[in-house]
Structure 1
Amino acid sequence: MIQLLFLVLFAEGAVAFLLMVKIGPLRDLAMRMLDQLKTGKGPATVKTLACTMSVILLSSIASIVKIQNRGLKLGTVTPMDQVLWRTHLLEASLIGYTLFLALVIDRLHHYLNKMLTLRKTASSSREEVERLRRDSKEKEDKSLNEVKKLKDEISSLNEKLRKLKLESKEQEKRAQEAEAHVSSLQKQSEELLLEYDRLLEDNQILQGQALSLRG
């Protein structure tokens, strides 16, 4: 029994050491082993063993107390009782250390699983943040490109508007010149009409004089 307890204690110590110190893939191997141990019938088996060892521990403590009480009553402890007392004390100590290491291993396994879950969550959160940053950057670049296009279009429209204004001014100037030319032509036409009327009058006067001379 004591040899078996020493073996279990050393095995638990090795597992606890591997969980606390990362040595290559050994920690992952220990974690997978504990995961398998906690699935299926594993938890029930471990609880049964823990209860059995607890009963043995209580029995050993009771035997130690019994031997001590017997020695107090007799005033001396026989060599056989001393051997039994030391055996029960060693057995109780080994069982206590074994149960304590089992509890430590269980807590280490729990917190390591929690830490791995948090790391995965943090990693997925970082990936999500990076994706959002990329999307934001793409949207920002797209918006900048659209703003640039709109600015180019506005600049082109302003240039067209400026050209249209210049053409409108030129056409207005031409219209004014044409209007001035028409006005000048109308004035010349009126002068010609006046000259024509004067010539008609002169002609009629000349014709009258010619008729009078003939008569």
Structure 2
Amino acid sequence: MTPLLCVFLTAEMGVIMVLLFGTPLRKLVMIVLDRLKEIRGPVMSTVGGTLFLILMSCLYSIMRIQKRTIETGAVNPTDQVLLANHVLDTSLMGFCMFLGLMIDRLHYYIKRFDGSENVKPFFKNKKLLDTDSD
């Protein structure tokens, strides 16, 4: 599961980097994200819900391993390896969910403000007002 999450995390970071800079590739990514959001309904919520349930399961396993270690008083090497693996998986899932939220918000703001004509005339009018007062 860890290699899959690392690949997914890298892909999400790449999408965020493409969205941050105004390149021709950003237009393509915006079109792809628009298409994904059209069919988003059951598909994306199912994927997000499944990822959240797996995250909760890993957190529960971490708590169980820590409780077992506290009860026995001795540190078992197998438990240490399992705990480290669960902590890594949990943190990667949390980062993936956070970056997914970042991609969603970046897409929304770019779509709303990138081609906005409401902001540009304000600056033109302000320049005109500044030149008239001189």
Give the structure-2-normalised TM-score: 0.84
1:20 corresponds in structure 2 to 20
Give the Cα–Cα distance (whole angstroms) in 2 for the partners of residues 72 and 122 of structure 1.
59
Give the structure-1-normalised TM-score: 0.54
2:29 corresponds in structure 1 to 30
2:106 corresponds in structure 1 to 108
Residues 37 and 43, structure 1, Cα contact 8 Å, conserved in 2: no
Give the Cα–Cα distance (whole angstroms) in 2 for the partners of residues 92 and 53 of structure 1.
10
Give the Cα–Cα distance (whole angstroms) in 1 for the partners of residues 17 and 75 of structure 2.
41
| Aligned-partner residue type, residue 4 of structure 2 | L
Structure 1 unaligned segments of length 5 or more: list them: 127-215
Larger Rg: 1
Give the Cα–Cα distance (whole angstroms) in 1 for the partners of residues 41 and 18 of structure 2.
21
Which structure shows the higher helix fraction?
Answer: 1
Q: Within the alignment, does 1:52 sit opposite 2:75 as a pair?
A: no
Aligned length: 123
| Aligned-partner residue type, residue 21 of structure 2 | V
Q: Let me know the Cα RMSD of the aligned residues.
A: 1.8
Percent of pairs identical after alignment? Answer: 39
Quick one: higher RCO (CA 8 Å, sep 6+), 1 or 2? Answer: 2
Give the Cα–Cα distance (whole angstroms) in 1 for the partners of residues 104 and 95 of structure 2.
14
Question: What does the per-residue CA deviation read over 1:159-211, in whole Å, with 9 as the maximum and x for residues that have no partner?
Answer: xxxxxxxxxxxxxxxxxxxxxxxxxxxxxxxxxxxxxxxxxxxxxxxxxxxxx
Structure 2 unaligned segments of length 5 or more: list them: 123-134
**What is the correspondence of 1:1-215 to structure 2 with a 5 Å cutoff?**
1-22=1-22, 24-39=23-38, 41-119=39-117, 121=118
Give the Cα–Cα distance (whole angstroms) in 2 for the partners of residues 68 and 2 of structure 1.
21
Q: Deviation at 1:122?
A: 5.4
Question: What does the per-residue CA deviation read over 1:58-80, in whole Å, with 9 as the maximum and x for residues that have no partner?
Answer: 00011001100100001122111
1:172 corresponds in structure 2 to none
